[in-house]
Structure 1
């Protein structure tokens, strides 16, 4: 067995055995019940040990961080203990108030219970005092640790080493002193001697197979992206650019990844890491970052640029960023790995100074290239500030303040990278959310169909998700910036502490993390309520023998009930004490009496409309001077769509207390009246016969039976005509205007065919006193 095989087995076998053991011995574990309270004495002793360690002096940052973690744990336990003891003390006091004061001759059981409650109250108060003392001590220790960390950081940042002039002078005196040390180091730590010929054969085979698989992947991906992006959205163009770039760099990435993985298995356990493995890791990181730059700024064909910048600017930024990536990888390999041990210290520090010059100039170049973007062109002051900070970091490096220089460079570069990543993730997530509203892709269309959304209807609760996405991204950005600038997890842990901290607001306590979780659950409940209503209306209640109005009322009430249940759950998750809702209801009753009575009146009227169902969605109603179809009924108002397609919002109280005409209350039938006038001297019997024939010929007119049959009435003698009226019932009163128009057309046609004259008004003018105008003569 080769060296590689033995080492690979030694590295992989424990992990495999651990996974198998976990799968074999996995058992469902019962949830633990409420255990005893925290051991306050042990916590006090732990804090005492932390204090003694601080008094003796701590030299290691790792030990100081461990002391900080212990003090933080004690603080959290103390805060929880204070809340629990206060709650228990209030419960005991309520029980004592229920028993009332001691009275002569009371039962022995009552006296015994009162004494037990008094002792329990004293115990809880003593326990609470101990917890408060523990909290005070932990806060004092935390303040001491943080001040110690701050002092150490200040000393480290302003610790001065030799300047560039000193380094140049020293290296001038010994110009080639670094070469023997470097050659000796490379011979000792190259890692080439740790691979035997069989290992090299396995290495070549792994690289060849990976490159072959990468070529097959390239062929597959090129077929996927041959037609370009599937849509014009940001997400579709990004996906196309990602696949095209993966096809372009796939073989190289696969080969380098195989080489790095093979070396990790073969010599990854060697300390320090051999040079050949370091180079393989660095090359893989470089290729990944270069491919990422191509994805965003210069996508491989057939992908097209999708960011709001010109192709020339995109290519220029891509070139500068590739140089920056190369510099960062080289700097990481030279100054953060075993390679840094190959150079004498003066030569290494001089190399760092020269490296800083090239790095700062490249970053400044990128910053001013970004100024050519339209939305950044006006922010000249920001670019000047960033340039000044970069030059200050370079000056600190040359002056010997190398820790300060590293912090400034790492902070600026890391903050910029975190900001770009945050904006990119925000754009991609918003593109996905916009696609859900518009149904751009097939999976989004299927999801909209599952939710029962049609046309331009939006996904319920999506606005809340957008807000939560923005909040989560900014919180993540702040945490990343704190981690970058503080060089430890202290800032990130502090942010988590603030999110989980209990903030007193009056007599209540607010936890920001619980508020965010409650907002997420509220958005989910909105979507679930919408889905339940859609499923009930379109699937679950379709085959139920129930009136349409009753079905719609049931769907509406179910939606409001599910929202009410969801609101109660969300309030509970947010930490709102539901027992205080009675106080809130009392306050609302006062508000109702003064300014909310109209809202409550409309709400109650909406409930009555849903249960009594005097109007239903789709009914043709007349309310005052508003006439149209009922489009939607909610608990506060009803939307009526007029025949001009104008939506009129009518308060529900007007529908309950006012006069409402519903043409379709019990059935869809309705009567149509067609007034007709014929000339004097017409055959009235023929007119009646013709009108009845017109009514019977129309398919929408009911012939009779459960409704009166069509009838023709001779209403009277008019000034210019004999007045008739055709009255008939139609199947759907919603088509009343259209049927009336059809009947009028048919009456005109049949009267023309039978020479029945429809007169027009005539007037005879009698002039009593008229004198002709005088003649011209």
Structure 2
């Protein structure tokens, strides 16, 4: 049976890699590298080589596993023995043949893995060299581009004019559909401009609009007019390239201008973080509007340019001029805003950015078009991504801050649905805010990497390593599993907290317990849930829990040297929670510290003293030292209140008065089996006074000081009413005249007078 378990998987497995086909593909690519190949061909070859390398790695893993199983099966069979059954001999021969076959296939897979890795390196080197050559290629400078543009044939200019000004074989200005569309757009723009103020007051029913509302109604006429004209032009089939360029640019420009005006208003998000003056905000808004208009014009033009009759060489001058104008606007913005807070405190990044913009302009002027396009797109896209990242982060910060507040309809709705009290924060806010910030900046990073040339293949490779993982120093790491583990850990922590809250507030399971017992149960459940959540998260991340024994062995050395106090407190905390010699709410004394136990954690115990100071006592001191717990078995407390009475007092009367005052106090136990009724005791007769004690028992030791104050006051008043004098410490002094020292210090002779 055991031999069958070893051999059946071997017979059922088949090779997932076509070795011969992979070898032929690698040889074809190797021969093609010796010839001229463009970047697209190199990229396709790189994909093929990467796939073969991955298959080779999978093949080696499978063959190693199969070969290991075969070796174990042969080890179980052992060497051939004379007279053994024939079926064992056949099985051994079959396993030996399988071992040879697997060894040969494993060697082939290793060779393919090495060859694919080497070939992939050669392809990357050749592709990098080709990209560097293309990037540094020198074309016509801007003057030569202008000369080439002027030498463009007249037929090309006629076709260019026909492309922009003609639609459906008719001039766009003579088409009634376009005239109707323009009229509709202008009419709607004028109507909304005239009605925006009364319309806003009628909708919001207030005379004082917020800055956001005023900003929206300011740009609403332009947005409405452009949208109506564009829709009408599309319906009437007059949406020519020129109309698409105009409407696409102005419509998007109006929307972006509205967002910029909202962000750069005096009470906007930028002003709150940068504290800029109103003049600086207006200057930045004007420059950003101009940059937005140029950028949108360029984006729409890029979408239309493939249909343009002008070739790429003919358009080179326009592209260069466009780059220079847009670079000048960005350079002006960086220069002007760089002297404002907080940028002026970081001059180095500003100078680097200015030099990069100037270098891009120089490349544009000198004719390095590819390098200029690379720097132009990379710099402007990176600036746009970073700006959007900061704006979104600030907006999210304000959103989550408002979410944590009590006011608001949806906050009240969530609190009501989640059964959260008004004075408690909404759950999961911290996790959601962290996830949103992470998503924003991951998007910014991806946008910046794409701007600097990271292609779809690069993102695919990053995603592949993110999902399948990579190996470092023999340890395989899968980032995707770690992310899932972190999310799962957060979810389990919150579930643990919700369970704790439910048990402490609503559950009937532990409500019958006293407060100290409930606290111990909840603490044990909390730490148990914490340990289970961590173990589940580690298992999800791919950490072998069996290896934790090795980690524990390594930690034992550190525990023996530097962590012994922490571990001592941890173990002591477990003992306190399980044995419960101290509970939350007990009045205890540890050394010179007295107070109520406010909280018991796994490492320390919090004691609140009478002067409202909070003392953190390590749990090890509560286990190893002497602790006085006034409330361990019950909260009954015995008080011995002393009174010093003069020697000439009536002793039976004093005892009667003390007992009477003790019996009159409502907090003193009278006929209770937990204590003794009030008693007056004469325990000492000194040279100064008769020392009486009033012995009483209280049902709650928390009332000790208040009861002592009341009893002392009432007893003193009762004694005074019965003319009983309280004794005070006194001392008799006897003067011997013959022994008086004069002022000069010499002993005076006795005079015989008294």
Comparing 323-332 with 429-438, greater Cα deviation is found at 429-438
Q: CA deviation at 1:423?
A: 2.8
Q: Go from structure 1 to structure 2 and tell me whether the alpha carbon gap of 1:720 and 1:65 turns closer, same or farther (over 3 Å shift).
A: same
**What are the equivalent positions in structure 2 for 1:332-481 lying under 5 Å apart?**
332-338=299-305, 341=308, 348-430=315-397, 462=430, 475-481=442-448
Among candidates 747, 751, 762, match of residue 730 of structure 2: 762
* Alpha carbons 1:264, 1:277 under 8 Å: kept: no
Comparing 709-718 with 492-501, greater Cα deviation is found at 492-501
Q: Could you say which residue in structure 2 is the equivalent of 1:237?
A: none
Name the SS of the counterpart of 1:306 in structure 2: helix
* Alpha carbons 2:245, 2:297 under 8 Å: kept: no
Q: Deviations over 1:554-585 (max 9, x none)?
A: 21111111111111122122221122223334
Q: CA deviation at 1:687?
A: 3.1
Mapped to 2, the partners of 1:541 and 1:192 lie a distance apart of 84
Q: Could you say which residue in structure 1 is the equivalent of 2:272?
A: 306
* Alpha carbons 2:66, 2:102 under 8 Å: kept: yes
When normalised by structure 1's length, the TM-score is 0.78
Q: Go from structure 1 to structure 2 and tell me whether the alpha carbon gap of 1:416 and 1:500 turns closer, same or farther (over 3 Å shift).
A: same
Name the SS of the counterpart of 1:360 in structure 2: helix
Mapped to 2, the partners of 1:535 and 1:735 lie a distance apart of 32
Q: Deviations over 1:424-449 (max 9, x none)?
A: 33444455666677878776688789
* Alpha carbons 1:640, 1:649 under 8 Å: kept: yes
Q: Could you say which residue in structure 2 is the equivalent of 1:143?
A: 121
Among candidates 710, 713, 723, match of residue 742 of structure 1: 710
RMSD: 4.7
Q: Could you say which residue in structure 2 is the equivalent of 1:678?
A: 645
* Alpha carbons 1:86, 1:128 under 8 Å: kept: yes
Mapped to 2, the partners of 1:218 and 1:120 lie a distance apart of 86
Q: Could you say which residue in structure 1 is the equivalent of 2:164?
A: 186
Q: Could you say which residue in structure 2 is the equivalent of 1:728?
A: 696
Q: Go from structure 1 to structure 2 and tell me whether the alpha carbon gap of 1:494 and 1:441 turns closer, same or farther (over 3 Å shift).
A: farther
Q: Go from structure 1 to structure 2 and tell me whether the alpha carbon gap of 1:567 and 1:172 turns closer, same or farther (over 3 Å shift).
A: closer
Mapped to 2, the partners of 1:673 and 1:179 lie a distance apart of 114
Mapped to 2, the partners of 1:761 and 1:698 lie a distance apart of 29
Larger radius of gyration: 2
Mapped to 2, the partners of 1:35 and 1:599 lie a distance apart of 53
Mapped to 1, the partners of 2:235 and 2:124 lie a distance apart of 41
Q: Go from structure 1 to structure 2 and tell me whether the alpha carbon gap of 1:748 and 1:319 turns closer, same or farther (over 3 Å shift).
A: farther
Q: Go from structure 1 to structure 2 and tell me whether the alpha carbon gap of 1:374 and 1:658 turns closer, same or farther (over 3 Å shift).
A: same
Q: CA deviation at 1:724?
A: 1.8
Q: Could you say which residue in structure 2 is the equivalent of 1:23?
A: none
Residue 158 (structure 1) aligned with residue 136 (structure 2): yes
Q: CA deviation at 1:420?
A: 2.0
* Alpha carbons 1:189, 1:275 under 8 Å: kept: no
Among candidates 32, 48, 51, match of residue 29 of structure 2: 51
Q: CA deviation at 1:502?
A: 3.8
Q: CA deviation at 1:319?
A: 1.0
Q: Go from structure 1 to structure 2 and tell me whether the alpha carbon gap of 1:453 and 1:306 turns closer, same or farther (over 3 Å shift).
A: same
Q: CA deviation at 1:417?
A: 1.4
Q: Deviations over 1:473-524 (max 9, x none)?
A: 6554433222101163244344434544644344322234433443343333
Which consecutive residues of structure 1, in runs of 5 or more, have no partner in the other structure?
A: 1-33, 229-239
Which consecutive residues of structure 2, in runs of 5 or more, have no partner in the other structure?
A: 1-11, 745-754
Q: Could you say which residue in structure 1 is the equivalent of 2:529?
A: 562
**What are the equivalent positions in structure 2 for 1:90-239 lying under 5 Å apart?**
99=76, 101=78, 128-170=106-148, 180-189=158-167, 219=200, 223=204
Mapped to 2, the partners of 1:614 and 1:716 lie a distance apart of 36
Q: Deviations over 1:733-756 (max 9, x none)?
A: 123223322332333344444444
Q: Go from structure 1 to structure 2 and tell me whether the alpha carbon gap of 1:604 and 1:488 turns closer, same or farther (over 3 Å shift).
A: closer
Q: Could you say which residue in structure 1 is the equivalent of 2:504?
A: 537
Comparing 568-577 with 645-654, greater Cα deviation is found at 645-654
Comparing 719-728 with 511-520, greater Cα deviation is found at 511-520
Among candidates 624, 631, 634, match of residue 667 of structure 1: 634
Comparing 639-648 with 571-580, greater Cα deviation is found at 639-648
Q: Go from structure 1 to structure 2 and tell me whether the alpha carbon gap of 1:157 and 1:251 turns closer, same or farther (over 3 Å shift).
A: same
Q: Deviations over 1:522-579 (max 9, x none)?
A: 3333333233222222222566433333322221111111111111122122221122
Q: Go from structure 1 to structure 2 and tell me whether the alpha carbon gap of 1:95 and 1:443 turns closer, same or farther (over 3 Å shift).
A: farther
Q: Go from structure 1 to structure 2 and tell me whether the alpha carbon gap of 1:115 and 1:174 turns closer, same or farther (over 3 Å shift).
A: closer
Mapped to 1, the partners of 2:520 and 2:90 lie a distance apart of 57
Q: Could you say which residue in structure 2 is the equivalent of 1:718?
A: 686
Mapped to 1, the partners of 2:342 and 2:157 lie a distance apart of 50
* Alpha carbons 1:181, 1:344 under 8 Å: kept: no
Q: Could you say which residue in structure 2 is the equivalent of 1:249?
A: 219
Q: Go from structure 1 to structure 2 and tell me whether the alpha carbon gap of 1:491 and 1:617 turns closer, same or farther (over 3 Å shift).
A: same
Mapped to 2, the partners of 1:712 and 1:296 lie a distance apart of 81
Q: Deviations over 1:24-69 (max 9, x none)?
A: xxxxxxxxxx998744449727944972794596877556545444
Mapped to 1, the partners of 2:642 and 2:459 lie a distance apart of 83
Q: Could you say which residue in structure 2 is the equivalent of 1:27?
A: none
Q: CA deviation at 1:605?
A: 2.7
Mapped to 1, the partners of 2:242 and 2:109 lie a distance apart of 55
Q: CA deviation at 1:617?
A: 1.3
Q: Deviations over 1:688-731 (max 9, x none)?
A: 34333433343332333232222222223233332222222223
Name the SS of the counterpart of 1:621 in structure 2: strand
Q: Go from structure 1 to structure 2 and tell me whether the alpha carbon gap of 1:556 and 1:174 turns closer, same or farther (over 3 Å shift).
A: closer
Mapped to 1, the partners of 2:736 and 2:90 lie a distance apart of 121
* Alpha carbons 1:164, 1:398 under 8 Å: kept: yes
Q: Deviations over 1:177-208 (max 9, x none)?
A: 87644431124448988999899989998999
Mapped to 1, the partners of 2:16 and 2:401 lie a distance apart of 49
